[in-house]
Structure 1
């Protein structure tokens, strides 16, 4: 019996890709399974963090907007019109939606069951290739020159600065995969899987992969009675197993699973079934990898409900850093991404604290990070350095207002400590009355540091000249910046003081070009990469950028890049300093990840000969820029 509604839907579908490549019987089968959804204007099809549906969608009429939420505002990423497909995320990931899909006008949408569509896809190379091409090109319809649409917008947080890491970082997989011989019986295989609490085993013949057995195989072939538990596993396994190369990216793993309709990939030395097994990739590995991508972590930070949620996010950052380094993502790019995540975590911690206090801030204020966080150079877990600036209030209110912000600072810093950012040993934190001041008090503080740098009533800290706005009213931070540059301009005493501080530590090589290492204590015979190399470049970049009056560039590598632009005659030195700084940061980061430390102390015995040469090569730029500073600020008598 004919179904005129289904036939009408099928006629509509075949006008659009990829349905144009599906034959009439299959198209009718799909049409008969479709659920027709009516949406009024502003109705949601799905929202951020909703569990993925068992269907994907095609717009039959009207328009659906894809949006992300940023600072309480919905930002439109893409508009889907008649014939556009949306909601493909369930094909590529098991975790929740990362976008809102909202009707921009009255709309009719076809909900297409994935369970019905997917088998047809696997039998139709044109449809499969369309989806793979869509995924690879980040568009919904790569064949439409004028209206491709953004597939990315459904699959990741739409942020151009994060896409490189998200899609091309290598996937972390199980490297010591459990394997078994093809002559083993099913009963033994099941016992191994149960004891080791695993869902799959790669089957090999003389060390080469020939198949795979999963929980699904045991359920469908053994539990149903099709095969006896005494059957040899080669009769039950799925074969051939899909093999891939080592260092596979997330997107490549997703495409391979979709293309072959499998949930596991066998990693081998050369990517073929003719080489030794290196490991196994599961759908779970892809889900975990996606959970650690920067866009998702940023989104999770904004949605976090408590300190525990923020702690979990921060712990995932180490995996993100390791993955990015493994894929040779530039360290400067990694610093930028991690800084954004750190800032998002701090902002949410402040939001949570204000909500907990139950009383809104009594006046406008700004929270700033200082030191390495202020320079956006903090990759590893190190201590926190921060401060609060609040607007001027009447004398009568001052003590009450300051008390509120000290309380806020105390709770936030304790929260950050629980998250993983340890307390500053020197107490340079917003919970300290010295670092929680009104805007006028802060201006006076910076004037004192700049105009009387040798007076020690307050210990001058160059950390406070490296700061980054985090939360609140950024105009207060701008006032601080204006004060600093107003009083430091042509201030030879202050610049000479900073210069002398920058020259206190010479390049870290002895007379015979040997590394200067720690002579005693806990870190005896190790190389202090922070104190003996990084700080020299940080201090040099700071004084030189202040001398030029360049505002709002606090990152050391970015400062050297800007200096190379400003001083063409010294560009070679500054470019070498930028390169050396980033190389040193990479050394420190790899050391910290390897030993779960702050990475400050390198064990030179663990470095290869090539790494030692690379490390020594970073010291010449330190010498060159220190000589430049000595001459530029006439510091012969200071050193």
Structure 2
């Protein structure tokens, strides 16, 4: 490509992220290798299951539609306009494309060679973080109209087995061997042998100047090119590739690929100018991959005991604790945690069945409450119910006895794994919540038709559920009961009034309503005074709009934005607010090893205080929607 064209491409790219993070000179050097692609209307660039290209793409002009197949129909996933970047899968995954890219009108694209970009990605944290965070965030909502962002090719959550490495932290040797540049090769070889290490960092006047690995000994000493009496700096490799202490698996992989090295030096700030804190090897990457969520799910399927599942549970906890501190979309973490948790519960049931024998009739085991919404990251308990198929009266006792035993054994396994039992008894081991389909249908109809004092409490637990194991038709029957029951007016009024009566998060003077007494005096209860109301209103409006099978609060608001376009902006803001508040709670919980409900406002930065306070204003807008929808007042 001629320099004039390269400069023209660079001039275009510089206005869009992540290219805006690079210098213009760097952009020009990349642009020399960019290819210009012309697509006619309806022409495909790639389609589902095509092999990955060696480039990703930027739209110069025109519109590109990204589509997937859902329920045997082609579904529009997103639209890409000028400046949008798509086709990132080759950066982070090896499996084929998971979507189709087609020109909706005549379009011109820039094909950016991945190999030419990787060196700049490895050297520029802003570019790398932008790519990683964007790849983590599935842009799968047609109503999502944010422009100037990268579009993920990761369409289905089930693919996190391949794509979770962007948030996985690494375990590595934090006591690397350091030697002086004038030590002999023989001395260093003895030190490496004694310490069972395959690398050593070389310093001169307390400055990091190089690295020596087993490979250097083979190529430069064993071949006779250097004598063992020579100084170690004669065979060292330099400069040393340095990274920060909190580097993720994907970041480390990219750094090694970009620089064609097998060792990374960990320093305090990621530069050679601060103290060496460790060394990362390719073996560390392999070990980290063995602890990916996809591998954890495979491990649950092979587990034979509670102790096997407990090891998976601890690995998951470690992954989540490391990941939540990164700027990764919390919804992705919720989904990943939820999927692994479901796999653990599923295997706990299977282990119990192996001990008891085959169930006498079909049944369904459902997770309920926050676990059913896949919104648990901290201090997880287990809330669940069991539904079994109706039987003749002669069989009732034996069948009920079997499922009571199954529930009890499953609960025992889960508690040995680390999932605490619900203090309110909302689990299948409680005979109240282990019963036949007919009994469950009557229970739900009773809650809906004759709401009373505990309506909202039951609704917040039993109306959010996720199928875990068994016959899904039984779960479907319960869902149909909830949405087919005609006399829901009084039920929804009860729920609406309860949502309006939640404690206000802010005072009249716009100050946080902090606890006035008790062990958490002076702290802000983010769950009781903000998150609960977001959850309850999302559930209420989802039932009102007939949103079946959508149990997650974030997803409910996203779907409501499509259903109720008049209030779309409010719902989208509510979805973001839910994730923001949940992140504050999660970080607080990790810091204090508790549920994270009570936030010490005084310990937040000024920016975080304002961000938190500003986010709470959406609750008033949601309350107005509830009042208008159900003709309620706060005095109803």
Whether TM exceeds 0.5 here: the answer is yes
Say whether 1:475 aligns with 2:431.
Answer: no
Aligned partners of 1:166 and 1:290 also within 8 Å: no
SS in 2 for 1:360: coil
Residue 424 (structure 2) aligns with: 426
- Residue aligning to 1:437: 435
Report the Cα distance in structure 2 between the residues aligned to 1:294 and 1:383, rounded to whole angstroms: 20
Q: Shift in Å at residue 554 of structure 1?
A: 0.9
RMSD: 3.9
Post-superposition shift, 1:332? 1.3
Aligned 1:189-588 pairs, distance under 5 A: 201-212=200-211, 234=232, 238-240=236-238, 242-246=240-244, 248-254=247-253, 257=256, 263-268=262-267, 273=272, 277=276, 279-357=278-356, 359-454=357-452, 460-487=458-485, 489=486, 491-588=488-585
Do the aligned partners of 1:208 and 1:277 also contact (CA within 8 Å) in 2?
no
Q: CA deviation at 1:249?
A: 4.6
State the number of aligned residues: 493
Offset of 1:373 from its aligned partner? 1.0
Relative distance call for 1:215 and 1:525 in structure 2 (3 A) is farther
Deviation at 1:244, TM superposition (A): 3.5
Deviation at 1:576, TM superposition (A): 1.4
CA contact (8 A) 2:200 2:211 kept: yes
- The change in CA–CA distance for 1:195 and 1:322 in structure 2 (over 3 A counts) is farther
User: Does the 8 Å CA contact 1:537/1:581 hold for their aligned counterparts?
Assistant: yes
SS of residue in 2 equivalent to 1:396: coil
Q: Is the 8 A contact 1:314 1:420 kept in 2?
A: yes
Question: Against the structure 1 CA distance between its residues 511 and 134, is the aligned structure 2 distance closer, same or farther, given a 3 Å change threshold?
Answer: closer
Label 1:495 to 1:293 Cα distance change in 2 as closer, same or farther (>3 A): same
- Equivalent residue, structure 2, for 1:594: 591
Q: Please state how far the C-alpha of 1:635 moved relative to its aligned partner.
A: 2.7
Judged with a 3 Å threshold, the aligned counterparts in structure 2 of structure 1 residues 348 and 79 are, in CA distance, closer, same or farther, namely farther
Q: Are 1:507 and 1:619, in contact at CA under 8 Å, matched by a contact in 2?
A: no
Q: CA deviation at 1:256?
A: 5.1
Query: Structure 1 residues 164 and 269, CA, compared in 2 at 3 Å: closer, same or farther?
Result: farther
TM-score normalised over the length of structure 1: 0.68
Q: Is 2:135 aligned against 1:138?
A: no
Following superposition, the deviation at residue 234 of structure 1 comes to 3.5
- CA shift at 1:254, angstroms? 3.5
Question: Are residues 191 and 332 of structure 1, via their aligned partners in 2, closer, same or farther at CA, if it must alter by over 3 Å?
Answer: same
Q: Displacement of 1:182 after TM fit?
A: 0.8
Aligned partner of residue 138 in structure 1, secondary structure: coil
Q: 2:600 aligns with which of 586, 598, 603?
A: 603
What's the TM-score, normalizing by structure 2?
Answer: 0.68
Q: Is the 8 A contact 2:334 2:374 kept in 1?
A: yes
Partner of 1:161: 159
Q: 1:460 to 1:284 in 2, by over 3 A?
A: same
- For structure 2, the residue ranges without an aligned partner over 5 or more in a row are 1-47, 52-88, 97-153
Residue 513 of structure 1 deviates from its aligned partner by 1.8
Where structure 1 has 5 or more consecutive residues not aligned to the other structure, the ranges are 1-76, 81-132, 141-155
* Shift in CA distance, 464/139, structure 1 to aligned 2, threshold 3 Å: closer
Shift in Å, 1:342: 0.9
Q: Please report how far the alpha carbon of residue 570 of structure 1 lies from its aligned counterpart in structure 2 after TM superposition.
A: 1.4
